[in-house]
Structure 1
Amino acid sequence: MSWGQDSVDTIRDLEYVRRRLDGEFVGRDRAVRLLQLAVVCREHALLLGPTGTAKSELISALARHIEARRFSYLLTRFTEPSEIFGALDFEQFRQGTYQVRTEGMLPSAELVFLDEVFQGSSAILNTLLTLLNERRYHNGARAEDAPLISLLGATNDIPDDPGLTAFSDRFLIRLQVEPVGGTDLERLLQVGWEHETRRFTNAVQAAERARGTDPSARTRTEHTSGTVTVERLGRLTLRLKDVDLDPVLGEHRELVRQLLIQGVRLSDRRLVRSLKLVAGAALLRESRTAAPVDLWPLAHIWTDPADRTTVEEAVQAVVEKHGGEPGRRRRPDHEILLDAREVGAPLTAARQPSEWSVVEGLHKLADLSRELREQPPVNTQTEAELSRIIAEVNALLDQFE
């Protein structure tokens, strides 16, 4: 039995979309298949996963391939219902009728994407309950049919809140989206860099159009030493894509793998965009080719502060191995404490220091305390004595009140 040419053509077009998205999003074939299934079956789907796993980008990309009235929004706990469902029709309200203007808003959309879908207020989520299940929107005293095909949501996790159980149950399809950096890092960086170059190119060109300048223009403005115009800065940003990253990709991948093995949490988004920092480091030293010394910005892409030292030491080891500048060496705790004693020695009540010298001393002691804390593990005895010195100097301020 034949499905008929129209059905077969639609199936094949959806397959074409799947293959195209599979090429654009590394390790997301199952997600694409489920999202396609959702729109065919007119069900709602939920992608769960940590930040930076391309959940939002994937849903948005799929929606662009379907000719439908679309609506998308990032929910927060401050989002007002009018931002989602439409503003009050004041003309009708003056005539005694409460009605919302839904044109271009969620109730009139066929395909909806809500990012951070569980962050909406109870007023928003309760309204969505009926709309998702019955495809009806209660607009004042009237119940209107909604053309909704599917609502596709993204979230970091499902809140453990009994009040959200009914809303969560409306999403028949769920998929846990995991970072792919640890399993297919090479392809992630390759495909991701292509995405990233298009993204910042479009951003620069859009900014230039907003200013009324020609994005393709390469005319030189008069150069004033020490002054950089926004136009010149935008043109320099566009040169990032011309930097040859091939000489450092091997070192970059190995460095990232080692960090991931050590349990450092780096999202796919951060891994991809770190390549832009490497290209920028090469560009700023006037080189068209990146070198391992340009990996130094990776020391600053950590997510969890607990990973900072691990990331900095791993990156610095690679940079120094290739002749880069040595990083800041850790000073021994006893040296920091000696400096603190030297600062505090003249600041005693017996010596009657000025208010200015006491304040200046407290600033120096605060810097030393910060240096000590930034070099874990912190010696508790050293920390206690430094705190005592700070307290004694701080007490001198009372005499100036």
Structure 2
Amino acid sequence: MIFTNCNKLEEIRQALNSKFFERENEVEGILVALLSRQHMLMIGPAGTAKSALSSELSKIIEGSAYFQWLLTKFSTPEEVFGPLSLKGLEQGVYQRIITSKMPEANIVFLDEIFKANSAILNSLLTLINERLFYNNGSPVQVPLMSVIGASNEYPEEEEGLDALFDRFLLRFEIDFIADETNFVSMLKAAGQTIQMPFMTMEELLHLQFLTDRVVIPDEVYKALSKIRVELRDEGIRPSDRRFKQSLSVLQAKAMINQRQVVQMDDIAILENVLWEKVEQKDAVSYIIRNHAHDVITQTLYSLQNEANEVFYSILQDQSPETGMEATQKMMVLVADLNKLKNQSESRKADIDVLLNKVTSMQHEMLNRILEPCYLDNLGEKRCSTSIFFKM
């Protein structure tokens, strides 16, 4: 059941990527938001498929209630939360009819989110953050999973929208298609119908249940603590709440990659989470990416040095005992590299390079054990060392 649902998730991701060119990060972001029940913001010019991507996702999740609205400074609470009940008003009850409006939706897309006016803002903040809607003064739990917000620009500081901006844990900048080949492919695909996979609400709820149970190892917690210190040294101070919420993003990232344990390279997605101001983005990205790849890089470095030492031992001592011990150690190194490869999607290419070298060294060692040296044309004894390499 786990892998069946995860396979469906991967099919959805691939289908969305094939339909929306150069939107891989945003596609992953939306799926992560949905699995983690967090909210996502896309910032970029009009005409970059922000609303189309969100709308397509709602169609894929069969049985989901979807609400979409374009906010303006003239938008009214009735448009988003529903009109007041006239019968209720006659009885002195201030109650809204929320049918087909945001309080009944599972997935919400709000375009030009920062155009929300004060009449809408307070209810919007409570609904997004606490999943509560106050109708006639009574709190009602709403079925909201994720709000996908979009804006052509960042809010100005004097607009008083910091709280709304903070509600979006995941933030992505989006731009026009850059690659000309992709641009032409997008033009050719216009009007074509792509058969999209689907997932039921029950399957999505099960995936969310599994996501909550993805294991976060201690090394990830320690890395987050180090990231927090380094960000503070740069004057960047994400809230404790944002760090806490980011754990669900890491779990969702692992689930999308069909894993039940978070890996260090999953941390890379937090470059879309831990910045507060636009000018902080580059510094946050640099710090997080260093930590995301740090453990993998160090592990590869260590395994490569160990492989060199094992192979060098054969050059120094060609006794059967040393040969047997070296062969066993090399087999363990190959097994460790294959295990690391299965656990790290983003570093497979780097691991493959070292794996090929170590495998070649292993074969060379076996050849040397069976026939360690040979006589050259001058009758002198030679032993090959061509596989040995340096860091």
TM-score bracket for this pair, using the shorter chain length: 0.3 to 0.5
TM-score by length of 2: 0.47
| Structure ranking higher on relative contact order (CA contacts 8 Å, 6+ apart) | 2
Larger radius of gyration: 1
TM-score by length of 1: 0.46
